[in-house]
Amino acid sequence: MLLALIGLDEFGKDERIAEFWKEALADGSQRRVFFASEYAEGSLVADVAQAMTPSFFGPGASVLIRHCEFMPAEEQRKLTGFLEGAQGNLALDFLADVDKIDKRGVLWKYLEKQKATELFAPPKYTEGIQKWIMTHVQKYFNRKIEPAAALYIADSIGGDTKCIHNEIKKIFLYDNRIPEIKMQHCSLFVKQDRDIPSYELQGPFGYRNMEVFLPKFRRILAEKGNKAFMPIIFELRNHCITLLHIQSMRSKNIPDYEIKSKILPPNRLFTYEKNKLPDQSSRWRLGNLQKTILRLDEISYGITMGSYSSLPSFELAICGLML
């Protein structure tokens, strides 16, 4: 059995590796784990080959190689040559972004030819992570979690699925009788250890959703203080200009595919539908967007002149734009 796991969804990969061990060790073979990052070039494949070679006393070991993304090209070629004539059970773990994996190497081409690759991409964006958490709690714990609590965990941890699972598990270890995870459980047990980048304010600001915007906004200010003022202004101003262009062009019946090409770079076109930018722009009147951009410029100037020296004054100025 040959298996290659690619991606950053560590919880999903751990589940698949557990299945691999269950099947691989059924014939009585032993478990061996190697870490490609710990090997100098030229010795990893030799050790793997030796471990997987059957002996007089039993079958060869079933092997898992971790961190295959560190394997040099020459070592990958050697491993490919070994695999072409090898028998036994081998799993390769690539801790790398699915979209950024190099598919030109001989090892990747061989794995694809053998149909051995399985992709494990973690959920992306706060909305996707929130949905993943709600499904995960139902599937693995047979419980529920309220949407606000799932959003809190997504903001606190990000897309680290393994960490999310462990934090949820910690809540149920405290009290296994909890029928539904609520905000009070998360605030007690889930540590907020992820920096929220300023661009994550764009969506809730565009939707004028104060309930989602304010907690993120306050966390950024608590973490970065006055240094966050200008980055926040920059992100919100750029987003308002984008929404203004969308609304203006849509009023002229310009088709969406043309709007996307005019206002977004090629590598960002997917965000038009993904982030529902037309829907966000419809939450504002054209005049309000224009006034908001001008007001953001005024606040930016006020920051340079020292008018917003305290966090509350800046918070009040920004939140007032959404009313």
- CA dihedral (134, 140, 144, 149) positive or negative: negative
Is the confidence at residue 318, as pLDDT, over 90? Answer: yes
The pLDDT, as a whole number, for residue 161 is 93
The pLDDT, as a whole number, for residue 187 is 83
Percent of the chain with pLDDT over 90: 60
Burial 111-142 (b: 16+ CB within 10 A, else e): beeeebbeebebbeebbebbebbbebbeeebe
The CATH number covering residue 170 comes to 1.10.8.60
Is the confidence at residue 41, as pLDDT, over 70? Answer: no
Q: Give the three-class secondary structure for 8.
A: coil
The pLDDT, as a whole number, for residue 2 is 94
The CATH number covering residue 276 comes to 1.20.272.10
Looking at the fold, whether 79 and 155 belong to one and the same domain comes out as no
Domain count, the chain: 3
Predicted confidence (pLDDT) per residue in 102-146, tens digit? 788 899 999 999 999 999 999 988 888 999 999 999 999 999 999
In which band, very low, low, confident or very high, does the pLDDT at 274 lie, cut at 50, 70 and 90? confident
The pLDDT, as a whole number, for residue 270 is 80
Domain termination site, one of 74, 90, 120: 120
Q: Residue 43's Cα: distance from chain center in Å? A: 34
The strand ranges marked E within the chain are 2-7, 31-35, 62-66, 90-94, 117-120, 144-145, 180-181
Predicted confidence (pLDDT) per residue in 216-272, tens digit? 899 899 888 899 999 999 999 999 999 999 999 999 999 998 998 888 887 778 888
**Which residues on adjacent β-strands are paired with residue 4?**
92, 117
The pLDDT, as a whole number, for residue 54 is 87
Contact yes or no for 3/91 (Cβ under 8 A) = yes
Contact yes or no for 236/318 (Cβ under 8 A) = yes
Looking at the fold, whether 85 and 33 belong to one and the same domain comes out as yes
Is the confidence at residue 310, as pLDDT, over 90? Answer: no
- CA dihedral (176, 164, 213, 244) positive or negative: negative
| Cα–Cα distance measured from residue 259 to residue 251, given in angstroms and rounded to the nearest whole number | 11
Average pLDDT over residues 11-30: 92
**Which residues on adjacent β-strands are paired with residue 180?**
144
The pLDDT, as a whole number, for residue 42 is 65
- Averaged pLDDT of the chain: 90
Looking at the fold, whether 160 and 181 belong to one and the same domain comes out as yes
Contact yes or no for 195/223 (Cβ under 8 A) = yes
Q: Flag whether the pTM goes above 0.75.
A: no
Looking at the fold, whether 105 and 80 belong to one and the same domain comes out as yes
Predicted confidence (pLDDT) per residue in 228-243, tens digit? 999 999 999 999 999 9
Contact yes or no for 52/90 (Cβ under 8 A) = yes
Measured in degrees and rounded to the nearest 5, phi and psi for residue 5 equal: -105, 120
Predicted confidence (pLDDT) per residue in 165-209, tens digit? 999 999 999 888 999 999 889 888 887 777 788 888 999 999 999
Domain termination site, one of 104, 120, 136: 120
Looking at the fold, whether 176 and 210 belong to one and the same domain comes out as no
Percent of the chain with pLDDT over 70: 99
Domain termination site, one of 120, 153, 174: 120
Lowest mean pLDDT among 35-39, 80-84, 193-197: 193-197
Contact yes or no for 129/158 (Cβ under 8 A) = yes
Looking at the fold, whether 314 and 222 belong to one and the same domain comes out as yes
**Which residues on adjacent β-strands are paired with residue 63?**
32, 90
The pLDDT, as a whole number, for residue 96 is 86
The pLDDT, as a whole number, for residue 40 is 66
**Which residues on adjacent β-strands are paired with residue 92?**
4, 65
Range of the domain at 154: 125-189
Is the confidence at residue 28, as pLDDT, over 70? Answer: yes
Report which of 158, 87, 84 is spatially closest to residue 125, judged by C-alpha positions: 158
Looking at the fold, whether 144 and 160 belong to one and the same domain comes out as yes
How far the first Cα of the chain sits from its last, in Å, is 60
DSSP secondary structure code for residue 58 in this structure? B
Average pLDDT over residues 73-79: 89
Residues 6+ apart with CB under 8 A from 41: 72, 74, 75
Looking at the fold, whether 207 and 304 belong to one and the same domain comes out as yes
Looking at the fold, whether 27 and 80 belong to one and the same domain comes out as yes
Residues 6+ apart with CB under 8 A from 131: 123, 150
